[in-house]
Structure 1
Amino acid sequence: MDQPAYVQHYSPVLGSLAWSSLVAALPLLVLFVLLGGLRVRAWLASLIALAVSLVIAIVVYGMPAGMAVLSGTEGAAFGFFPILWIVINALWIYRMTVRSGHFDVLRRSFGSVSSDQRVQAVIIAFSFGALLEALAGFGAPVAICTIMLIGLGFRPLRAAVVALVANTAPVAFGAIAVPITTLAQVTNLPEDALGAVVGRQTPILALFVPFVLVALVDGARGLREAWPVALTGGLTFGIAQFAVSNYLSVPLTDIVAALVSAGAVVLVVRARAGATTTRDRVAVPAGGPDVESSGTGSSDDGAHGGPPSEGAFGAGAAGDRDDAHQDSRRDVLLAYMPYVIIIVLFSVQQIPPITKAMNAVTLKFRWPGVDVRSPSGTQASSTTFTFNWLAAAGTVLLIAGVLTALVLAIRPGDALRAYGETLRELRTAIATVMAVLALAYVMNLSGQTITIGQWLAATGGFFAVLSPVLGWLGTAVTGSDTSSNSLFGALQVAAAQKSGLDPVLLASANSSGGVLGKMISPQNLAIAAAAVGMAGREGEILRRVLLWSLVFLAGMCVLVYLQSTPVLGWMLP
Structure 2
Amino acid sequence: MTWTQTVAPLNGSIVLSALAALVPILYFFWALAIKRMKGHVAGITTLLLAVLVAVLVYGMPVRMAVMSSVQGAVYGLLPIGWIIICAVFLYKLTVKTGQFDLIRASVVSITEDRRLQVLLIAFSFGAFLEGAAGFGAPVAITAALLVGLGFHPLYAAGLCLIANTAPVAFGAIGIPILAVEGPTGVPAMEISKMVGRQLPFLSAFVPFYLIVIMAGVKKAVEVLPAILVSGVSFALTQYLTSNFLGPELPDILSALVSIVALALFLKVWKPKQVFRFSAEQASFELAAAAASAGHAGPKHSSLQVVKAWSPFVMLTVFIFLWGLPPVKKALLGTYEGSNPLLNLLNPLGKLLTFTPEVPGLHKLIIDTAGNPMAAVFKLELLAAAGTSILVAAVVTKFIVRISWKDWCSTFAETLHELRFPIVTIASVVAFAYVTNASGMSTTLGTLLASTGVLFPFFAPFLGWLGVFITGSDTSSNLLFGHLQKVTATQLGVDPVLAIAANTSGGVTGKMISPQSIAVACAAVGLAGKEADLVRFTLKHSIILVVLVGLITFLQSNVLSWMIP
Aligned pair partner of 2:486 in 490, 494, 497 = 497
| Aligned twin of 1:374 | 367
* Cα contact 1:472–1:514 (8 A) shared by 2: yes
In structure 2, C-alpha distance between the alignment counterparts of 1:319 and 1:213, rounded to whole Å: 33
Measured in 2, the distance between the counterparts of 1:296 and 1:363 equals 49
Tell me what 1:148 maps to: 149
**TM-score, normalised on structure 1?**
0.75
Question: Is the deviation greater in 27-36 or in 103-112?
Answer: 27-36
Which of 336, 344, 368 is residue 317 of structure 2 equivalent to?
A: 344
Matched, 1:265 2:266: no
Q: Residues 116, 28 of structure 1: CA spacing in aligned structure 2 closer, same or farther, 3 A cutoff?
A: closer
Q: What pairs up with 1:316-331 in 2 under 5 angstroms?
A: 323-331=296-304
Is 2:159 aligned against 1:168? no
Amino acid at match of 1:170: N
Partner of 1:123: 120
1:92–1:418 CA contact under 8 A, matched in 2? yes
Deviation at 1:208, TM superposition (A): 2.1
Which of 48, 54, 57 does residue 57 from structure 1 map onto? 54
- Aligned-partner Cα distance in 1 for 2:292–2:47: 49
Query: Which amino acid letter does the alignment assign opposite residue 514 of structure 1?
Result: G
- Report the count of equivalent residues: 525
Question: Are the equivalent residues in 2 in contact too, given 1:367–1:384 (CA < 8 A)?
Answer: yes
Distance 1:369 1:38 in 2: 36
Q: Is the 8 A contact 1:57 1:443 kept in 2?
A: yes
Q: Which residue in the other structure is 1:87 paired with? A: 84
Q: How far apart in 1 are the matches of 2:402 and 2:229?
A: 37
- Within 5 Å, which residues of 2 pair with 1:268-307? 268-272=265-269, 281-282=273-274, 294=275, 298-299=279-280
Partner Cα distance (1:537, 1:433) in 2: 14
Name the CA shift for 1:452/1:321 in 2 (closer, same or farther; >3 Å). Answer: farther
The verdict on how the C-alpha distance between 1:162 and 1:271 changes in structure 2, with shifts beyond 3 A counting, is same
Among 91, 105, 108, which residue is 1:108 paired with?
A: 105
| Preserved contact between residue 46 and residue 436 of structure 1 (Cα < 8 Å) | yes
Paired position in structure 2 for 1:390: 382
**Distance of aligned partners of 1:79 and 1:106 in 2 relative to their CA distance in 1, 3 Å threshold:** same
Contact 2:99 2:308 in 1 (8 A): yes
CA displacement at 1:23 relative to structure 2: 2.0
1:29 maps onto 2:18 in alignment? no
- Alpha carbons of structure 1 residues 125 and 281: separation in structure 2 relative to 1, 3 Å: farther
> In the alignment, residue 264 of structure 1 is paired with which amino acid?
A
Give the aligned partner of residue 550 of structure 2: 558
When structure 1 is superposed on structure 2, of 175-184 and 138-147 the one drifting more is: 175-184
Once the two structures are superposed, residues 286-324 of structure 1 have per-residue CA deviations (whole angstroms, 9 ceiling, x without a partner) of xxxxxxxx569744779969xxxxxxxxxxx99999943
Q: Tell me how far apart the structure 1 counterparts of residues 214 and 166 of structure 2 sit (CA, whole Å).
A: 25
Letter in 2 for 1:145: L
Instruction: Summarize deviations over 1:84-124 as a string: whole Å, max 9, x none.
Output: 22222222211111111112211111111134555444334
Native 8 Å contact 2:47 2:428 kept in 1:
yes
Task: Indicate conservation of the 8 Å contact 2:33/2:531, yes or no.
Answer: no
In structure 1, the partner of 2:9 is 12
CA distance in 1, matches of 2:22, 2:539: 28
The yes-or-no answer on 1:334 pairing with 2:307 is yes
| Same amino acid, percent of matched pairs | 30
Q: 2:435 aligns with which of 431, 438, 443?
A: 443
Please point out which of 408, 422, 426 is paired with 1:416: 408
- Cα deviation for residue 177 of structure 1 reads 3.8
Which of 455, 459, 462 aligns to 2:447? It is 455
Residue type at the aligned position of 1:141: T
Task: Determine the C-alpha separation between the residues in 1 that align with 2:513 and 2:54.
Answer: 30
* CA apart distance, 1:379: 1.3
1:249 is displaced (CA, Å) by 8.8
Note if contact 1:529-1:536 (Cα within 8 Å) is conserved in structure 2: no
Where does residue 337 of structure 2 map in the other structure?
A: none
2:197 matches 1:203: no
Do the aligned residues in 2 keep the contact of 1:516 with 1:552 (CA within 8 Å)? no
- Structure 1 residues 129, 452: CA separation in 2 closer, same or farther (over 3 Å shift)? closer
Q: CA deviation at 1:496?
A: 5.7
Report the residue type matching 2:394 in the other structure. V
How far 1:333 sits from its partner (Å)?
0.8
C-alpha change, 1:565 and 1:396, in structure 2 (3 Å) is farther
In the other structure, the counterpart of 2:509 is: 514
Query: Counterpart of 1:431?
Result: 423
- Could you report, residue by residue, the CA deviation over 1:18-45 in whole angstroms, capped at 9, with x for unpaired residues? 2222222222222222222222222222
Conserved? CA contact 2:418–2:522, under 8 Å: no
The offset of 1:58, in angstroms, is 2.1
Deviates more, 1:197-206 or 1:17-26: 197-206
Higher relative contact order (CA 8 A, sep 6+): 2
Q: What is the distance in 2 between the residues matched to 1:281 and 1:415?
A: 42
Q: Deviations over 1:361-384 (max 9, x none)?
A: 254443221011135541114x24
Deviations, residues 478-524 of structure 1 (Å, cap 9, x unaligned): 7x9826886897357546634546463243134222146589x9879
Residue 49 of structure 1 deviates from its aligned partner by 2.0
- CA distances 1:190-227 after superposition (whole Å, capped 9, x unpaired): 89677776555443222123334555677666566533
SS at match of 1:366: coil
Letter in 2 for 1:513: T
Pick closer, same or farther for the CA change 1:442–1:210 going to 2, 3 Å.
closer
User: In structure 2, how many angstroms separate the alpha carbons of the residues matched to 1:473 and 1:46?
Assistant: 18
CA distance in 2, matches of 1:320, 1:230: 35
Return the offset for 1:530: 7.8
* Whole-Å separation in 2 of the counterparts to 1:121 and 1:87: 21
Per-residue CA shift, 1:153-193, capped at 9, x if unaligned?
xxx6xx96587446424346569947986898899758967
Change in Cα spacing, 1:13 to 1:180, as seen in structure 2 (3 Å) is farther
Structure 2 CA distance for aligned equivalents of residues 321 and 262 of structure 1: 33
Distance 1:241 1:490 in 2: 25
Alpha-carbon offset, residue 571 of structure 1: 4.9
Q: Give the aligned residue type for 2:311.
A: P
Give the TM-score, by structure 2 length: 0.76
**Larger displacement relative to structure 2 (451-460 or 250-259):** 250-259
Contact 2:456 2:552 in 1 (8 A): yes
User: What does residue 45 of structure 2 align with?
Assistant: 48
Distance change (3 Å), C-alpha of 1:209 and 1:495: closer
Deviates more, 1:167-176 or 1:402-411: 167-176
Query: Closer, same or farther in 2 for the Cα pair 1:188/1:45, shift >3 Å?
Result: farther
Aligned Cα RMSD in Å? 4.6
Contact 2:461-2:506 within 8 A present in 1 as well: no
Q: Flag the 1:423–1:76 CA change in 2: closer, same or farther, 3 A.
A: same
Question: What is the rounded CA distance, in whole Å, between the counterparts of 2:181 and 2:38 in structure 1?
Answer: 28
* Contact 2:466–2:479 (Cα < 8 Å) also in 1: no
State the partner residue of 2:342: none
**Partner amino acid for 1:380?**
M
Do the aligned partners of residues 411 and 176 (structure 1) sit closer, same or farther apart at CA in structure 2, a change above 3 Å counting?
Answer: farther
